[in-house]
Amino acid sequence: MDHQTLLGTTFACDCGRQHTVPTGAMHYSSEAFDHLLPTVEAIPGVAHCLLIADSRTYAAAGQLVEEKLRHGRAAVELFLVPDCEGESPVADDKTKDLILARAPITDLFIAVGSGVINDLVKWVAFLRRKPYLCVATAASMNGYASANVAASIAGLKVLFHAEPCLALFSTPEILRDAPFNLTASGLGDVLAKTVSSADWKLNHFLFNDYYCRFSVDLLKDLEPVYLNNPVGIRTQDPAAMRALFEALFFSSVAMTITGTSSPASGGEHLISHTLDMLAARDGGRHDLHGRQVGVASILMAALYEKVLAIECPVFGEVPRQVDEHFWGKLTPVVAKEYEKKLPRYRRVADSLSRPGTWQRLRELLRTDMVSAAKLKNCLAKAGAAHRIGDIDHFDAPLTRDKLLAVVRNANQMRERFTILDLAMLLGLIPDALDDLVDGWLGG
Ligand SMILES: [Zn+2]
Ligand SMILES: [Zn+2]
């Protein structure tokens, strides 16, 4: 399938919905920036555009972008987001307010940056009701064309709705020169799809939740490129890097057209979000999103394998209350989410105890499953995080005990049902968890 033909279109899908892809173009080549000026001039009413970057992304691509736009009809201005206590800016309400207060009025925003800058500009552009373009400076995450902003508000990790970018630009040279950890993080984030789409199928099967096969299949041709050639990511092979960048982009398209993060986010993301929330709560630092997600994805795949090996399931009880000792001052917000999920456990146990249902679920989940071994091999060979100790948490390697506690509690922070919940019902969490973690993420 030529994915590019989908961009900017509305089409009827087999899932029964009409899908609209608001992002009209994705330019990835050495000449990608030659498309900037024509893109800006094709947007009606743009007399002024505002580049937003931080000092790093400005050096990586901002300067180049500025030059390309200088001779156009629209005035170009630059706003540099200041560093936060000597480090890269963060996507939080404080920084958003600072941009709103200090950045000049504009007709078009141009985000130069992948993670934080993209989230901040998406947020500000949405509040100012102006379109934005994204210039990616790293293949580090899958938010480019998603409508979601991932930010912290008053210290709490939240996801909310805005508008995706009108067009995305990057060059192989810029992605190659980005810090390698960012690329490895992008790989971890995109590999999550192999387990998160199983979680999505699980929700469809159990609760008849909306599911779109088409958006899961969007990455079908791209996934084997990096899964089968992870060394290509480490050595920055052009074909592997292109596949990774396109997969990140189309993973964000999948979230936008379905209106949910389900195609790209399941139990593994809850583990990463929990690590982030603990860091925010206690004023420490956490690792890159995709590095945490990648490690957690290996564990989710291993959990799926354990679950699918069960012939005759026996369902037990899950805790009725969240662990105050673990969540501390986050207990009230998490408890509110968990309460919504509690009634679902009984329903799941009842429905999966009906004759034939368990076998049907196993067959359904087995198709398209990528093994834990394959995920681990891919991350390891690519030079990405793949063990507990690879994850930085409070400026030290994450400990086994902390990870175990996170995995036992992460399911409580969102209503969404994931493999973590199924494993809880089956008693695999906590009974098999220590062995799985030692076997897959130790060493
Ligand atoms: Zn669909
Ligand atoms: Zn992610």
Tens-digit pLDDT profile for residues 34-75? 999 999 999 999 999 999 999 999 999 999 999 999 989 999
pLDDT range class, residue 96, cuts 50, 70, 90:
very high
Report pLDDT for 86. 80
136 and 207 share one domain: no
Report pLDDT for 155. 62
CA of 70 relative to ligand 2 center, distance in Å: 35
Nearest ligand, CA of residue 18? 1
191 domain residue, yes or no: yes
CA of 309 relative to ligand 2 center, distance in Å: 28
Nearest ligand, CA of residue 258? 1
Report pLDDT for 253. 95
Q: What value does the mean pLDDT take over residues 239-246? A: 96
Check residues 280 and 182 and name the one with the higher pLDDT. Answer: 182
What share of the chain in percent tops pLDDT 90?
88
Nearest ligand, CA of residue 13? 1
**Residue finishing a domain among 129, 157, 178:** 178
Q: Residue 350 sits in a domain of what CATH number?
A: 1.20.1090
CA of 289 relative to ligand 2 center, distance in Å: 6
126 and 202 share one domain: no
Q: Nearest 5°: phi and psi at 169?
A: -135, 140
171 and 96 share one domain: yes
Residue 429 pLDDT more than 70? yes
Report pLDDT for 280. 85
CA of 313 relative to ligand 2 center, distance in Å: 31
Nearest ligand, CA of residue 15? 1
79 and 207 share one domain: no
154 and 279 share one domain: no
157 domain residue, yes or no: yes
The whole-angstrom separation of Cα 163 and Cα 161 is: 7
* Strand duo 396-397 + 392-393: pairing: antiparallel
82 domain residue, yes or no: yes
Report pLDDT for 156. 67
238 domain residue, yes or no: no
Query: 325-334 — which CB contacts under 8 Å span 24+ positions?
Result: 326/405, 326/408, 326/409, 327/409, 327/412, 328/281, 329/281, 330/277, 330/281, 333/156, 334/412, 334/413
Q: Residue 162 sits in a domain of what CATH number?
A: 3.40.50.1970
**Residue finishing a domain among 128, 154, 178:** 178
Report pLDDT for 143. 85
Nearest ligand, CA of residue 293? 2
List b or e across 192-212, with b for residues whose CB sees 16 or more CB atoms inside 10 angstroms: bbbbbbbbbbbbbbbeeeebb
74 domain residue, yes or no: yes
CA of 210 relative to ligand 1 center, distance in Å: 9
Query: 213-218 — which CB contacts under 8 Å span 24+ positions?
Result: 213/14, 213/15, 214/13, 214/14, 214/15, 214/19, 215/15, 215/19, 215/253, 215/254, 215/257, 215/258, 215/263, 216/254, 216/263, 216/368, 218/3, 218/250, 218/251, 218/253, 218/254, 218/263
In terms of Cα–Cα distance, which of 143, 235, 127, 199 is closest to 420? 199
Q: Using an 8 Å Cβ cutoff, are 188 and 379 in contact?
A: yes
Residue 85 pLDDT more than 90? no
pLDDT range class, residue 1, cuts 50, 70, 90:
low
List b or e across 125-148, with b for residues whose CB sees 16 or more CB atoms inside 10 angstroms: bbebebbbbbbbbbbbbbbbbbbb
Check residues 432 and 414 and name the one with the higher pLDDT. Answer: 432
172 and 190 share one domain: no
196 and 112 share one domain: no
Question: pLDDT by residue (tens digit) across 309-326?
Answer: 999 999 999 999 999 999
CA of 267 relative to ligand 2 center, distance in Å: 11
236 domain residue, yes or no: no
CA of 262 relative to ligand 1 center, distance in Å: 13
Helix axes 289-308, 180-191, angle to 10 degrees: 30
Q: Which two tokens stand for residue 176?
A: 């190659």
227 domain residue, yes or no: no
Question: pLDDT by residue (tens digit) across 210-238?
Answer: 999 999 999 999 999 999 999 999 999 99
The whole-angstrom separation of Cα 236 and Cα 238 is: 6
In the predicted model, what is the mean pLDDT of the chain? 95
The whole-angstrom separation of Cα 439 and Cα 419 is: 18
CA of 304 relative to ligand 2 center, distance in Å: 19
Q: Which residues are in the CB-under-5-Å shell of ion ligand 1?
A: 13, 15, 212, 214
What share of the chain in percent tops pLDDT 70?
99
Nearest ligand, CA of residue 264? 2
Question: pLDDT by residue (tens digit) across 255-304?
Answer: 999 999 999 999 999 999 999 989 988 989 999 999 999 999 999 999 99
**Residue finishing a domain among 160, 178, 196:** 178
Question: Which domain, by its residues, includes 428?
Answer: 186-211+262-441
Overall domain count for the chain: 2
133 and 197 share one domain: no
277 and 330 share one domain: yes
85 and 206 share one domain: no
Q: Which two tokens stand for residue 269?
A: 């993301």
Q: Greatest CA span in the chain, whole angstroms?
A: 70
For residue 399, with 0-12 CB atoms within 10 Å meaning exposed, 13-18 middle and 19 or more buried, which class applies?
middle
Nearest ligand, CA of residue 215? 1
Question: pLDDT by residue (tens digit) across 189-205?
Answer: 999 999 999 999 999 99
62 and 119 share one domain: yes
CA of 254 relative to ligand 1 center, distance in Å: 9
CA of 320 relative to ligand 2 center, distance in Å: 29
Residue 242 pLDDT more than 90? yes
Report pLDDT for 246. 96
In terms of Cα–Cα distance, which of 244, 290, 247 is closest to 269? 290
Nearest ligand, CA of residue 290? 2
For residue 428, the number of C-alpha atoms closer than 13 Å in the C-beta half-sphere is 21
166 domain residue, yes or no: yes
Task: Please state the pTM of the whole predicted model.
Answer: 0.94
Q: Using an 8 Å Cβ cutoff, are 221 and 1 in contact?
A: yes
Residue 103 pLDDT more than 80? yes
110 and 200 share one domain: no
